[in-house]
A = this chain, B = another copy of it.
Amino acid sequence: MKYHIADERWGIWGSEGYEKYLLNFAFEAKFHPSVPDKIVENYKVIEYLMAFAYYYYPLYDEAIEKSVVLLERCVKTRCKQLSISLSHSVSLKNGAQKDKSKEYNRLINDCTAAEPKKMIQCELHNLRGVRNFLIHKENYSYTGPIGMPILLRFINVVNILFLPEQSVVLMKKEVEKLQKKLKEYANCGLVLNRQNKRILLEKISIEEAILLAGGWKYSLICSPIFLDIEEKIKNHNYSKQIELEISGLSIDDNSITCLDCDTGEQIEVSKTNHPKNISMLADFEIAKKNC
């Protein structure tokens, strides 16, 4: 069908077939239950734009533009929830007063001032800047999936925007607490045991925490070691961090156990003193220094 032919521009991203494309470039968002239904529904537009960009590459840019435009609507919705007026009184030249819609800039300032501990003012203004650039841009260039981080930032900031402030504070404290605990796991050999595979890690970290009805969930970032750094740089083939959504976290002296939220399987990260591992870690440190 005319509108259902794969856009060959995806070839530069090494896409192979639609299913693989969806896996790499389109994604559903995870929103917590306090994000209003209308916003979750509107995000679907973004998801469909990503899905159909397979047939017309510039639709990916539409997805990005849509997210930063939608964010303004999210800020307005949050302002309403916080009883912040969307308009203000301005003085006219003749001295009379007139009700005028607040500018987006002002709405961000007002809603972040009401919930300062969320610390999302900079992020919202930054994404407002992206919005203004995209909406008013003069040229016709395409960003493609290079702009994907904008979409991820949109999802993150919307999730924070619609949480109660005290929940965000609680989450920040939880992350700080865990980061302190994980200091014991820095500068030592670590092995990730997952899906019957053992992977030697350089380091691990916990970046986010959220308290849902089912208990705490965390994002666990594992950085595997690799020895062929030079070759990877030459071929632009960089190893990815392993990002896991986990629950049921337990941190002991020598090992961390948790559940992978996607598969339900148990994950373990344990300290290692095995001479082979220690030697590989040493080689990795040398390879890093030499590259």
Contacts and interface: CB of A to CB of B under 8 A. Distances in A.
Interface of A: 1-3, 18, 22, 38-39, 41-42, 44-45, 48-49, 51-52, 55-56, 58-59, 62, 66, 69, 72-73, 76-77, 86, 101, 104, 135-140
A48 to B, nearest CB: 4
Given A1-B18, A49-B62, A138 B73 contact: yes
* Top 8 closest pairs, chain A to chain B, by CB: A38-B140, A3-B51, A48-B56, A52-B52, A76-B138, A45-B58, A42-B140, A45-B62
Given A49-B62, A66-B62, A86 B138 contact: yes
Contact of A48 (B18, B59, B139): B59
A229 B104 CA distance: 50
Overall SS of chain A's interface: helix
Contacts of A2: 22, 51
A39 to B, nearest CB: 8
Copies per complex?
A: 2
Given A44-B58, A45-B62, A48-B52, 19 more contacts: A2-B22, A2-B51, A3-B22, A3-B52, A38-B139, A42-B140, A45-B58, A45-B59, A49-B62, A52-B52, A52-B55, A62-B66, A72-B135, A72-B136, A73-B137, A73-B138, A76-B138, A77-B138, A104-B136
Nearest to A44: B56
A48 B58 CA distance: 10
Contacts of A135: 69, 72, 135
Contacts of A45: 56, 58-59, 62
Nearest to A140: B38
A12 to B, nearest CB: 18
A36 to B, nearest CB: 9
Contacts of A73: 137-138, 140
A72 B76 CA distance: 24
Contacts of A76: 138
A73 B55 CA distance: 24
> A18, A38, A56: which has the most chain B beta carbons within 10 Å?
A56
A51 B76 CA distance: 31
5 contacts: A3-B51, A42-B58, A48-B55, A49-B59, A72-B135
